[in-house]
Amino acid sequence: MRRLFLSLSLLTAALLAGFLACNTNDPEAARPPAKFGLDFSNVVGTQPLQLGTVAYKNASGESFTPTNFNYFVSNIRLIRTDGSAYVVPQDSSYFLIRQTDPATQKITLNNVPEGSYKAVSFVLGVDSLRSTADISKRTGALDPAVDHTGANGMYWSWNSGYIFMKLEGTSPSAPRDATGRGNFRYHIGYFGGRDTKTINNLKTITVSFGADVAQVDPFRQPAVQIQADVLTIFDGTTPISIKAYPEVMISPFSATVAKNYAGMFSYKGLKTAVTD
Amino acid sequence: MKQLQLIGFLLSAALFGVVASCQSGGSEVVTPAPVPGKPDMKPPVVYQTTPYPWKKPTNFPDPVYNFANNPLTLEGVALGRTLFYDDMLSVNGTVSCAFCHQQPAAFAHPDHALSHGVNDKIGTRNNLGLQNLAFYKNFFWDGGVADLDLLPIAPIENPVEMAHSMPNLLNAVRQSAKYRPLFQSAFGSDSVTTARFLKSLSQFMLTMVSANSRYDKHARKEAGGQLTSDELAGLNLFQQKCSSCHAGELFTDQSFRNNGLSRVLNQDVGRYGITLRTEDKFKFKVPSLRNVARTPPYMHDGRFWTLNDVLNHYTTMQEVPELDPVLRQNGKPGVLLTDPEKQQIIAFLNTLTDTAYIADRQFSAPN
């Protein structure tokens, strides 16, 4: 009887220890996964970007009215205050920002590890590995069979390459078409080539949060405000005039446009949604 | 003693239960988020496909296509064949793949110098015959597409070819009663995805292997491989004069070269349009010569209508700065060939016609 009591108490103790160990080992299990937001807002200088209605002016003194503006954001890394990085899983790291679709301008990263973050980096475009991946790995925004025929088109079927950045619009400085409209079109792609080396217009962009720290836990969801300034495409490292370059697509000059747009992003603040 | 054993057993059972419950709790946390648009991963419907017995001809190099990513099945091939012959792949239902890729011409377009699309629109290049697609590193005269699975999007969306849009086409396929059972039997569900659509087309095109010409039988020392003395002389001349570019059993080294065509009427930049490298200006892919007698006209713009014209070009070409060095002998452009030698080469080129391929019903329009 005493032996039986001893064995029962040992068993209870073991089970209790087991449950305690389970709880202390895995505190996350009880906490909901944390999220992180990246909110992109597109502007032209000091004004918000509006398509088709507002005439803006570049540093060359040219008036222009954007009609379309899209770009790919991929390979996102969140950089912690200690310099280490959380790399967003490859299959969940491709986003197409479209000016015509506000929903695409707010990226939500799920299952982000708790911690303190000081910067974000991403690739503007679609990296060479994904640009040459099997068709089954090209889903969502990367699906070459989503609408790529009109203004939405971000894929060149004849060279099987993605367009990283597309800016289209009208300008009196551009040559007039049959309807009398002056059109400019910048379609920038080129990932470096599959078997022959080509231009590589992929740009890795790092946006630092300055003195701010984005604190991630299940109860605080930070959303970094990132601004993309269309004006930088014309007035960046190398000034580009619409009159001289009304169309830039498949040309070595695309590298100059890419160099300019690499500088178009800036940090505009942190919004944190607090829940309990 | 027995009781001690019982205690030990109870203890280990309890501990095991605790550890197991820990693990199952943990695995839920690390479950990756589903990828948007990814084909559903629900348990597959019970279906049975039959592997397609694809074989590399013994005289061929290893294939380039990655079959592991798209295992060929009779059902997948049948779906691809139906799509290949379907006019609905063009915007107005008038042009199928087979419209420009006709079997009697080894899947080239006879009597058309330039590709011919919907509403009689005319493209800028001569379409290439289709065969042995598993062996190519890239496609088109400029090598613009390097993955067979991505190739069909180019003609489908080209405004002067099929002029369709992929999302509209896939929606039409989804709504087609004809295709539901074909997708079901090829992939286990009737869900029409980009990957399934393109991979089934690839499956059919990969079965299009042409390796039974009289030349092949000669090369493999099989019955029916007899060549006449003129054909043998032509083969010998071909090996001396042509095979540095039209190399190997595919009759192309798959390089891009300038072969001295006049640019007075056509300034097509060729490979440069893809790579933007100055050294690639005015270069085009060395085409395979398999079934060449069936695929006139010739060159990227279809400027020559007979093999005789082609050989005359090689013997009379004028200097162009980008001319491939192999076509310049002792500082002079062109290849030295007498008229009788040209006829012998043509006799040899005729032995590259694979009549079995051209007549093979597995590649013709499905009933």
pLDDT digits (tens, 9 = 90+) for A27-39: 545 677 899 999 9
Is the CB of B14 less than 8 angstroms away from the CB of A18?
yes
| Cα–Cα nearest to B300, from B149, B173, B128, B155 | B128
Closest-CA residue of A relative to B137 is A195
Judged by CB atoms closer than 8 Å, whether chains meet at B165 and A160 is answered as no
The CATH number, out of the four listed (1.10.645.10, 1.10.10.10, 3.30.540.10, 1.10.760.10), of the domain defined by the range B214-356: 1.10.760.10
Residues of A in contact with B165 (CB under 8 A): 147-149
A117 and A247 part of one domain: yes
Please give the residue range of the domain that contains residue A130. Answer: 34-274
* Structure confidence by residue, pLDDT tens digits, B202-230: 999 999 999 999 999 999 999 999 999 99
Task: Please tell me the total count of domains within chain A.
Answer: 2
Return the bridge partners of A120, or none. Answer: A78, A207
Contacts of A7 in chain B (CB under 8 A): 3, 6-7, 10
Cβ contact A91–B22 (<8 Å): no
Q: What are the tens digits of pLDDT across the range B303-340?
A: 999 999 999 999 999 999 999 999 998 889 999 999 99
Q: Which ipTM was obtained for this model? A: 0.83
Q: B352, B287 in Cβ contact below 8 A? A: no
If asked whether residues A96 and A20 sit together in one domain, one would say no
In the structure, what pLDDT confidence band is assigned to residue B261 with cuts at 50, 70 and 90? very high
Interface contact B35-A140, CB threshold 8 A: yes
Domain match, A22 and A66 both: no
Residues of B in contact with A6 (CB under 8 A): 7
Does residue A170 sit in the same domain as residue A255? yes
Identical fold for domains B67-209 and B214-356, yes or no, is yes
Is the CB of residue B1 less than 8 Å away from at least one CB of chain A? Answer: no
A76 and A98 both lie in a single domain: yes
Contact across the interface for B33 and A111, Cβ inside 8 Å: yes
As a whole number, mean pLDDT of residues A12-18 equals: 47
Instruction: Tell me the domain boundaries of chain B.
Output: 67-209, 214-356
Residues B67-209: name the CATH superfamily.
Cytochrome c-like domain (1.10.760.10)
**Is B158 an interface residue toward A (CB < 8 Å)?**
yes
